[in-house]
Each structure stands twice: as structure tokens, then as C-alpha cells.
Amino acid sequence: MRTRPIPKSGEQLPVVGLGTWQTFDVGPSPAERASQKQVLQRFLAAGARVIDSSPMYGRAETVTGDLLRELGQERTPFLATKVWTSGREEGLTQMRDSLRKMGHGQLDLMQVHNLVDWRTHLPVLREWKKQGRIRYLGVTHYQLGAFDELEKLIRHEALDFVQLPYSIAVRDAEKRLLPAAAEHGTAVLVMRPFESGALFRQVKGKPLPAWAAEFDCTSWAEFFLKYILGHPAVTCPIPATSNPRHLEDNLRAGSGRLPDEKTRARMVEYLGK
């Protein structure tokens, strides 16, 4: 799989990751977790590493951590999660809980979820990074209305990562956020690359264009992900799935050629027809 560097460190990350929102919020029995376990096995076997979660996602952190331990792979992934509460002590309690559920004494990335009380949490994340409890820090938001604030933080807070919504249909991040991230050396994780499945509904019954083969694309999932990866500021989209077949389709987007700017414009035009 293709890799891209984390700008602040140069560490290489595989370019297709795995989200866990809704898909990993399942019960404790082996039967309930069977597809998630298979997804993690195939994900790691393919050389992918970035797994993103949050306390907001119900049992997803616990399920992820438990399954990685069952697979003997708790040290292999690049584990990212979030702090999603107000107040310093509440944040510390939540982060320690996430570390216990997902980590092995350290988490790779801790993010302030949806900028909740970020002025309190960012200094704590800097302390944890100095202590080696996390390796990188960042912020997230899912709303386009938060882009102005995200841009200010990228420009003034020396963030390692930002996580934001971006897709072939919702391209607002291209205007200022992605250029700001590139300028300030901030890695970009992309949420909602398929617009929660809406993109697949939009192309239902529509043929993949023959010219998609020019950038080694054989499915709509690859088409959507390769559009995102065609932007050089993007580090890694994190589509969520508990379906092993969908996972393998997603992972194929991390290999082969990527569309150039002219082709990306053509992709947008084709989707709009």
C-alpha cells in the first residue's frame, strides 16, 4: 500500500485507514464481534495501520482493543482516539480510560473531538506528549461551520493532525483547510469519505467510467477514495466498515496510480451528470 509522511515527524502511514463509528459499537460475544475481528485481520494483513475511534462511539474503543489483543496485534496499528468532554479532570479520566481500553501504555494520536473545550484539553495533550503517553495530538470537527476555527488552530497551535470531512461531493476543505494544513505541516485524516453511504446511493445503476482504469480504479469505493487521495495534503481517509468485502474494496484505493488535478476535475464533472 502507498504511504504518506506525517509532516511533523516524517513517519510514514499507509494511506487508507479504518473508522469505527457505529460499525464497532457491538456487544461482547464472539458472534457479535466476528465480522469486526475479520475486518481487523484483513486490514492489518494488507499493511494498513490507522484505526480511529472515540469515547463517543459507544463500545468501539473497547471492541477494538479487545480484538487487537485477541489477535496479538495490539502494538501493530497506529491507534487514534479522542477526548470528548469538558473540564481538565473529566478529560484526564476519559483519556486514561481510552488508554486502558485501546492502548498498550501509549496511544499514537489523541484528538480533541469536535473542538469540545479545546482550550482546556490541548495543553493537557501537550503534557501527555512530553510524557510519552501519546505520540501525536490533534483536533477534529464534522461540521463545515467549524472550518474557520479549525483553520485558526492549524495556523496557530502547531497541530500534528486535523481530522475533517471531505469527499468528492463535499469539497469545502479544498478552499482553505487543506492548503493551511499543507502550509503548516499538519497531517490530515478524512472522515465521511462516502458521505455516510450517500455517494453510493447517488451512483446506483451508473457505470464506472472506462477512463477510471487510467488510475487503476475498478470500483466506486476506489473512485471516491482515490479522488480524496489525489489531493497531496491528505494523509489518510478513514472509512468505517464492519464488512470484510467492503474493507478489501476500500484498501485497493491505496495501491496503484492516483488521479491528477485534470482527472479529478473530470471525476467531479462525471459524478454531477
Nearest CA-CA partner of 25 in 75, 63, 52 = 63
The predicted structure's pLDDT at residue 78: 97
* pLDDT tens readout for residues 8-67: 999 999 999 999 999 999 999 999 999 999 999 999 999 999 999 999 999 999 999 999
How high is the mean pLDDT of the chain? Answer: 97
Nearest CA-CA partner of 80 in 240, 255, 228, 198 = 240
pLDDT-based confidence at residue 104 (cuts at 50, 70, 90):
confident
* pLDDT tens readout for residues 120-151: 999 999 999 999 999 999 999 999 999 999 99
The predicted structure's pLDDT at residue 120: 98
pLDDT-based confidence at residue 235 (cuts at 50, 70, 90):
very high
The predicted structure's pLDDT at residue 125: 98
User: What whole-number distance in Å separates Cα of residue 130 and Cα of residue 26?
Assistant: 34
DSSP 187-252: EEEEE-TTGGGHHHHHTTTPPPPGGGGGGT--SHHHHHHHHHHTSTT--EE--B---HHHHHHHHH
Nearest CA-CA partner of 178 in 78, 261, 255 = 261
CB of 36 closer than 8 Å to CB of 48:
no
CB of 263 closer than 8 Å to CB of 214:
yes
Nearest CA-CA partner of 239 in 257, 223, 221 = 221
Say which residues have a Cβ less than 8 Å from residue 204's Cβ, sequence separation at least 6: none
pLDDT for 256 beyond 80 = yes
pLDDT for 201 beyond 70 = yes
Helices (H), 103-219: 118-131, 147-156, 177-184, 198-202
The predicted structure's pLDDT at residue 273: 67
